[in-house]
Amino acid sequence: MSGVAEALNSAVVVDLSGLNCPLPVLKTKAALAREPAGTLLEVIVTHPDSVREFEVLCSADNIELEEFFEESGRYIYRIRKLG
């Protein structure tokens, strides 16, 4: 895999476990604002209301939800910041 491809596939991990909504979405927005286009964030959240709130967040034009899954009470969102 080339360096560029590795950079595009490696994720910045943002662990927001234990925070109640809307803090996970607000902190994710702040993290996205700090990163350049093309960055992949892996956001870890434990609050169940995050599912609905992240659906709204990821409907924005400059954000793409690449993957979502639940694992042992944790909600994992892999979000790409687009150009």
Q: What is the mean pLDDT of each run of 10 residues along the chain (83 residues)?
A: 52 96 95 95 95 92 94 96 91
State pTM to two decimals.
0.86
pLDDT, residue 2, reads 43
How far apart are alpha carbons 9 and 6 in whole angstroms?
5
Alpha helix (H) residue ranges in 1-80: 3-9, 23-34, 50-57
pLDDT, residue 9, reads 63
User: Which CATH class, in words, describes the domain spanning 1-12+36-83?
Assistant: alpha beta
How far apart are alpha carbons 67 and 47 in whole angstroms?
18
- Virtual torsion, Cα 54, 45, 49, 30, nearest 10 deg: -50
pLDDT, residue 59, reads 92
pLDDT, residue 10, reads 87
Would you name the residues annotated as active-site residues? Answer: 21
30-56-43 Cα angle (round to 5): 45
pLDDT, residue 4, reads 44
